Structures are given as C-alpha cells and as structure tokens.
Structure 1
C-alpha cells in the first residue's frame, strides 16, 4: 500500500512543470507514473491520487451513486469536470492543467503534502497561512481521538 508523508516546497519551471519529490516517487513505486488530480472538495488545494488509488475511489463512488438520479448525475459531472490525468515525464515532472492551478490560486511556488494515500498541492502562501493558524496537532488528537466516546459508555 502506498503511503505519502511529509511536505515539500516546490517551484514550477518555466513551462509550469513540477518535480515530484524523490520521497513521493519512492512511495509511489517504480511502476506508478500516472496520477489523477482534482480540486479538493473541502479545501483550497488540489489532490493527486496515484492511478490505482483513484480507481478504488471510483469503485466507492459507483457503489453509492445512481446515474439515473438527477442529483447523483450532477455530482458526477461536477466531480469529473474538476479532474485531470497527469503523467510523470522522464525527469519525474508533471504538468497540472492551468485551469486547476487557477482554482487554488497556485502559481510557481507550491507545497506538496503527503496525506497517507494521496498528495495535496497547495499554493505556498495559502499553505503557509493555514499552517500558521492551524489548531495544534495535540488539540486535534485530543478532540478526535482522546477520551471515552458516548458510544463506549
């Protein structure tokens, strides 16, 4: 199973290509050259899924959505419209479509963040501001994982 960890500041080259950090290339494995990138549903970032994990996500969607229901069909349309396939070139670089980069206000300086099975791509100023204002990890752990839950009482 693929696990991406860490965050890396990256700069796009003159053509807009971004080098995938060596740690992420290693985690993805030698055979994985394709990713699907899409706008995150909740945050102002893009998410890069290794293609195998993307296929697992699609399977989950297909099991829950009915394309013969109007609202499901609209969700699918919006979900796929905000997506694109990217491939690593021989230099380990990928090119995100400009329309997706614009959706998250990303220019040349970005931060790639490993989040378990996928990678988030943030505009550096947005990521820096979010990191500066973030609730502490200890506080989040206590809130989400600590103490007895109502279910166990």
Structure 2
C-alpha cells in the first residue's frame, strides 16, 4: 500500500481535468494501471481519490455490514452516492466527473492533499478555509490523538 506525501496546487480546466504534478505522478506510478475511485468526502467539502486496492479493502469492510439493518443500508447508500471509477490518462490528467466538481465547489484552483492512503481533492479556497478553521485546536488534537504514550511513536 502507498502512503501519499505532499500537498499540491493544480489547476482544473473547464472540463474538470486536472494535470497531476510530476512528484505526485511518481507516487501514483505503482498503482496507475489499477485505476482509482473518486467520491465525495463524508466530513469535508472535498473529494477523495482512492487507489483501487485501497477502495477494495474499504468495500470488504462495508460488505460485512448487515444490509437488513436500516442505518447500515442508509449509510452504504449515502457513502456510495456519486462514486465513480476514474483513470489518469497518458498525459497525467485526472478527469473529475462534472457532478463531483459541483459537489466539491471546484473552480479553477485545486489542491491535491495527501491523506495517508488516499488523496483529497479540494477547491483551493475551501481548503485554505478549512485549514484556518481547524488551526486553533490542532495542538490539542495532536496531543489527544497522537499523545498516547503506549504507542512507540516519538
């Protein structure tokens, strides 16, 4: 599995095509032929790009949920709403489906941000706004989430 690194400023054309930077294309190279899944984020006004292997792991987890429990079924429906399979073309462009461009409010300026095993795709203004809004409590979150001294991280 790949752990992505970096945040990249890009531009989207009028058709929703985004030219990926060389540093990101290099990271994607091992999974390029497998394809990707793009979907709306659960928590943020952005999109998420999953390498196919990562998506399949997530689907294995979801497939274990009992679909005869209404909240499970409702969640799966909402989670998978608008999901599309996408590829990166030979020139290194990602075509974001029009309905998902609208969902994320993507205009011309785009930010591709690593989020461990997936990439987040943001409208630049939305990305900067979310970073600014979450700055105040970041130190507290870091302490709470990463400060558990039973882990071996230093």
TM-score by length of 2: 0.85
Deviates more, 1:44-53 or 1:137-146: 137-146
In the aligned structure 1, how far is the partner of 2:148 from the partner of 2:56? 36
Q: How many residues align?
A: 148
In the aligned structure 2, how far is the partner of 1:90 from the partner of 1:52? 21
In the aligned structure 1, how far is the partner of 2:127 from the partner of 2:5? 16
- In structure 1, list runs of 5 or more residues that go unmatched: none
Q: CA deviation at 1:73?
A: 2.0
In the aligned structure 2, how far is the partner of 1:135 from the partner of 1:127? 12
Matches within 5 A, 1:38-117: 38-63=39-64, 65-117=65-117
- In structure 2, list runs of 5 or more residues that go unmatched: none
Aligned partners of 1:13 and 1:108 also within 8 Å: yes
The 1:56–1:12 alpha-carbon spacing in structure 2 relative to 1, beyond 3 Å, is: same
Q: CA deviation at 1:148?
A: 5.9
TM-score by length of 1: 0.85
Q: CA deviation at 1:138?
A: 4.1
- Partner of 2:67, secondary structure, is coil
Aligned to 1:12: 12
Q: CA deviation at 1:107?
A: 1.4
In the aligned structure 1, how far is the partner of 2:149 from the partner of 2:44? 30
- Partner of 1:18, secondary structure, is strand
